[in-house]
Amino acid sequence: MTKLITVLNGPNLNLLGKRQPEIYGHDTLDDVEQQCTALAGEFDLQVRFQQSNHEGQLVDWIHDAREDSGGIIINPGAYSHTSIAILDALNTFEGAVLEVHVSNIHQRESFRHHSYVSQRANGVIAGFGIEGYTLALRRMHTLLNAG
Ligand code: CA2
């Protein structure tokens, strides 16, 4: 059966490719979704790609993923560094969680060095640009086929 992977993006990531290309590159979130959808097809996976600027919406989508998804790939944006609510929600999810950051958060301001989500994540990718999403999807494929 085709497994569903939920790909979540947090605040301001809808602006990817439209502002600050020196940090986040030129590709848009639509480009990311297309790349993930194409790769998922090769792996017989399906992706549900969602972005919100609202913390509670991301929590609700994590709850939805509890019902139907084998894994979550999440770029929580700035909520990585602040949100215990998103961490708590992810802690209720039984599948694999992979955290993606487009930029290298460890090379940036010190307030970006800590991520609450990393405490739950099975793996973290940072600083690989948007390629991080497809790398995470490859890793998800490996994890789902390991058990
Ligand atoms: O590097 C990442 O992916 C981040 O999660 C992006 C967040 C930032 O708060 C995290 O520390 C690291 C910010 C997303 C803002 O995205 C924009 C994209 C283009 C233009 C402006 C903002």
Question: Does the CB atom of residue 16 touch ligand 1 within 6 A?
Answer: yes
Candidate of 20, 23, 24, 125 to mutate for ligand 1, largest count of ligand atoms within 8 Å of Cβ: 24
Which among 5, 32, 30, 1 is positioned nearest to 129, based on CA atoms? 32
Residue 87 pLDDT greater than 80, yes or no: yes
CATH of the domain at 134: 3.40.50.9100
Cα(76)–Cα(78) distance, rounded to whole angstroms? Answer: 6
Which among 125, 65, 52, 68 is positioned nearest to 91, based on CA atoms? 65
Cα(45)–Cα(36) distance, rounded to whole angstroms? Answer: 10
Q: Which pLDDT belongs to residue 19? A: 87
Q: What is the DSSP string of 79-104?
A: GGGT-HHHHHHHHT--SEEEEEESS-
Which range of residues forms the domain containing residue 65?
A: 3-146
Length of the chain: 147
Question: Does the CB atom of residue 95 touch ligand 1 within 6 A?
Answer: no
Question: Does the CB atom of residue 83 touch ligand 1 within 6 A?
Answer: no
Per-residue pLDDT averaged across 56-70, rounded?
A: 98
Looking at the CA of residue 20, tell me the nearest atom of ligand 1: 20
Q: Which pLDDT belongs to residue 146? A: 87
pTM for the full model? 0.97
pLDDT in tens, 19-37: 889 988 999 999 999 999 9
pLDDT in tens, 8-21: 999 999 999 998 89
The residue that leads in pLDDT, 146 or 45, is: 45
Looking at the CA of residue 101, tell me the nearest atom of ligand 1: 3
The number of folded domains in the chain is 1
Question: Does the CB atom of residue 102 touch ligand 1 within 6 A?
Answer: yes
Per-residue pLDDT averaged across 28-49, rounded?
A: 98
For residues 122 and 96, the answer to whether their CB atoms sit within 8 Å is: yes
Per-residue pLDDT averaged across 58-87, rounded?
A: 98
pLDDT in tens, 101-146: 999 999 999 999 999 999 999 999 999 999 999 999 999 999 999 8
